[in-house]
Copies of this chain bind each other. A is one copy, B any other.
């Protein structure tokens, strides 16, 4: 009831004009780099005030189609609608949406020699020695296990493991502060594992060969090297990864 079906027949002038111009840009009448007619010229063409033309151009600017330079004119920047959606975090901690409500427990940590397949994930050479840490996350109320994680750290950062036991901060956060590193990039993959390995299913208190949600994250420092690699598995149904992607204006 609140939405009218009259779609492209807008009576609003500046929108009509931006529609026409947007169509002409996407249709190729104005190519990328071309200068659009000047604002007074467009005013005359469409029979509207310059103010209205500017409102239309502002909309095109918001769509990323044109860019204006004073003293020069308005030129075509792109011919495809470029919206930008972003998924933003206050900090990397926000990745762990359950972090506040759950408790982490360190199971074990040992030095391992990385295999070829693991090396591909860590972006390092096979045969290198890394720390491997195993943890579970539990709901404090009923002790239900919500995550089993396997974390790999470069040998140099081993001291954060002790710290983590005391401070309860995530590894990457400790690495940032203790080693003056800066996480500039997080590469994350989410997938569904049809049959969890027996050991992991056991940690999650699930029957053998249960399915699970798997999330892998590689934390990359400013130098491009891996600061931490984490793989977590979660019981199916119990865990949900929610995110919100918002349109960013003024790209």
Contacts and interface: CB of A to CB of B under 8 A. Distances in A.
Nearest to A62: B249
Interface string A60-93: 0111100000100000000011111111111110
Contact of A87 (B191, B213, B245): B245
Contacts of A7: 159, 178-180
A236 B193 contact: yes
A186 B244 contact: yes
A46 interface: no
Interface string A232-251: 00101101111111111110
Interface residues of A, number: 67
A88 B87 contact: yes
A83 to B, nearest CB: 4
Contacts of A107: none
Interface string A1-44: 10111011010000100000000000000000000000000000
A124 B26 CA distance: 35
Interface of A: 1, 3-5, 7-8, 10, 15, 61-64, 70, 80-92, 94-95, 154, 156-157, 159, 178-180, 182-194, 210-213, 234, 236-237, 239-250
Q: Which 4 A-B pairs have the closest CB atoms?
A: A211-B211, A87-B87, A83-B88, A192-B213
25 contacts: A3-B157, A4-B156, A7-B180, A62-B62, A64-B246, A83-B88, A83-B89, A83-B90, A83-B92, A84-B89, A85-B95, A86-B88, A88-B248, A183-B247, A186-B244, A187-B243, A189-B241, A189-B243, A190-B190, A190-B241, A191-B240, A192-B212, A192-B213, A192-B236, A194-B237
